[in-house]
A = this chain, B = another copy of it.
Amino acid sequence: MTESALDLTLLNIQRDDPVLETDFAIEMVRQMRALDAFGTYDSWPAAKMLEPFVLTKEQKREIPLVGDPDANVLSRVKAFYNAIAALIEKECALMAVPTINLTHEGFGRALITVGKLVVMDKTLRDVHRFGFPSLSKMKDEADKLLSVALEIIGEYPKAAGM
């Protein structure tokens, strides 16, 4: 698909949003491309690829409370936690392994381990409504998870394998 054939109307992310230049957003785009086996996103700009991660209050309200997550939302959840694992790896130079465990109903657990250490352990619920109020809120959440993970590694460096 050429870029001209693609609907590039952006509603929730500005094409020049400075957050798109951060390590986090660059890693997110890389992870989305890694999960894109059929090259669907090849011609998509970063803002378009990350837009489905942003759900305004109104958009969230339109999604039923109960629902099964589809393959697209699952790959977004994976991309988000994979990106956090990649950023942890970058900061501490140790392998960070993400594991996402979900039931069909969209409940579960996202874990990131470094060596013998659990550096992130998050309960997931309502995964079919996965999304953040804005791109910068998504980055805030990632920054928080990253800094907690690095703190845990700092506290137990030997268990992390340092």
Question: Which A residues fall within an 8 A CB radius of B?
Answer: 99-101, 109, 111, 113, 115-119, 121, 152, 155-156, 158-159
The 12 sampled A-B contact pairs (Cβ below 8 Å) are A99-B99, A99-B101, A99-B109, A100-B101, A101-B101, A115-B118, A116-B117, A116-B152, A116-B156, A117-B117, A118-B118, A155-B159
CB-CB < 8 A to A155: which residues of B?
A: 159
Closest to A116 in B: B118
B101, B109, B111, B117: which contacts A159 (Cβ < 8 A)? B117
A119 CA / B118 CA spacing, docked (Å) = 10
CB-CB < 8 A to A99: which residues of B?
A: 99, 101, 109, 111
Closest to A120 in B: B116
CB-CB < 8 A to A101: which residues of B?
A: 99-101
A69 CA / B113 CA spacing, docked (Å) = 26
